[in-house]
Structure 1
């Protein structure tokens, strides 16, 4: 708990003066004001985080948290729990979508076993930080103890701090865990009060029968556990997941160290809900990469007050959208530093938008 409390206390507001300077420069570039939209927003946010828009990102790290969920016993997923460790092995061998897109973005991929319900071999790039071998069934009782939830948050903080200390200037988060859209939906429902049937999606492609089982499991979990939305740790422990907690910890660590964090889709959005309820100031350090096809994701981003960079009909997870978002961040940096200003280009007057 000490590490968590220290991290929360270290989160400070953005540098408003740096953002104003960045905005003035953006407005002087040879384009109508605001015409590059989200790219300008990203540059301004980077200035607020770093004190100036960096000329380049020397190191980028994508952190993928893996954990299992006892609620799969309720029949909420089309895939068995054994797929989680199988996919971690695929990540380690470089064959998954996130491997391809992390390479495309020039980002280091770090795998973290925070709660896989199997013993994994020693693998390149795999950190074994297991809090427990999966969560308990949230439909029947708390998914985790409060102590486990805190421990999982602190794993995320520790991994992020290690990568930041090694020079990482941009973090992305992603996950692997069969059944994890179920706790994510439960977290969203607990914080928002939205009807479960309106925000529950098909995850990996479940049929109507499994969708109803999923809705029932989430409703039952909320009824049995009664998570307190005023206590984010209570929500996380009772209806969350270890990989969700780990990603929330990465967000908090990034905010505390003034390093931007790219969130991915629905599950990392649930992690962002937890992080920003623990520390509202952490929101300023989050970049939303894309809008997932999962119905709960749009509601999550609205609750967070974040706008996604991309809409690409994706719903894979793993942090695939976050990896693509890294390329958008680098594009924003290049626009800021490589475009000419009106005076430099010898263009008189401002252009009409």
Structure 2
């Protein structure tokens, strides 16, 4: 098995100094609540009293799923490739949000079931053209999962070398909420019914098909080890996102995790290398059914609650300015002693 990257757990040694620095700012101690906690978190990740968030790169990992043959999605797999084109044109929801918040968007072809034309903002990293049907056989081989993880590690480390302080995760893949539900079911763990939500938007009949298809996949394999779960139920984009979490954490970068599917990838990464959790900030609490339970399983609190359930990295793009603000709190706000001393 290919070695997973080494991740150094975040040390709490600087926390008292970071807290004291915040308490000494020109504001009542603790008055900025979660933003102060976030500032401390960023300082600990970067291991410095003056953390800096100048560049956030958001990667939208795209892949298709053979499980769609079971009727788990309201849309055909061809929509994945069409949406990739929309991201690259700059006319998607995440494109609009990223433009508003200064986030750089890149698209990764992790496993789209189509031949995509070259584009400056498209990273060609295809593991295979869609996964196999997880209701009938393992979605991916171990070699495919390990190659996806390794590529995710490489992408994250390359982003860091290119100046990214934050690596944000988004995704697109018809059928991937079903894959994420199965990963959550085994790795949270949680009852399957609590993990399956509307995804792209099913009515009652569609939800019945989705639940039945996901149940067939769950009944086919009893895998619970994280690598085996990714083989049985994962997507190329989910495994690659898990690798990106590990890669970013290995070079002490903040990982900004989007919604339900991105969190399932982070869950897999954390089950593979528990120290990766220290580097993850969760952007928002999705309206997708299983997301609150998965966040609780990880013991984390998201920054925003906006009833989003689109994916794409939309929540991560919206949350990105909060990280900048938190870091600026430590570096740009005057000390109270300065104010009390008065002019001159």
Q: Give the structure-1-normalised TM-score.
A: 0.93
Offset at 1:54?
Answer: 4.2
Offset at 1:23?
Answer: 1.0
Instruction: Tell me which residue corresponds to 2:263.
Output: 269
Alignment of 1:243 with 2:243, yes or no, is no
Instruction: Tell me which residue corresponds to 1:74.
Output: 70
After the TM superposition, which residues 1-353 of structure 1 pair with which residues of structure 2 at under 5 Å, given as runs? 1-2=1-2, 4-5=3-4, 7=5, 9=6, 11-54=7-50, 56-228=52-224, 231-346=225-340
Offset at 1:163?
Answer: 1.1
**Structure 1, unaligned runs of 5 or more:** 349-353
Equivalent residues of 2:72, 2:214 under 8 A apart? no
Offset at 1:55?
Answer: 5.2
Secondary structure of 1:175's aligned partner: strand
Structure 2 distance, partners of 1:160, 1:330, is: 19
Deviates more, 1:12-21 or 1:326-335: 12-21
Structure 1 distance, partners of 2:341, 2:283, is: 34
Structure 1 distance, partners of 2:51, 2:278, is: 21
Structure 2 distance, partners of 1:47, 1:330, is: 12
Structure 2 distance, partners of 1:300, 1:56, is: 30
Equivalent residues of 2:60, 2:170 under 8 A apart? yes
Offset at 1:335?
Answer: 2.0
Equivalent residues of 1:186, 1:222 under 8 A apart? yes
Structure 2 distance, partners of 1:249, 1:193, is: 21
Runs of 4+ more than 4 Å apart? none
**Structure 2, unaligned runs of 5 or more:** none
User: Deviations for 1:160-196, whole angstroms, at most 9, x for unmatched residues?
Assistant: 1111111111110000000110010001111234222
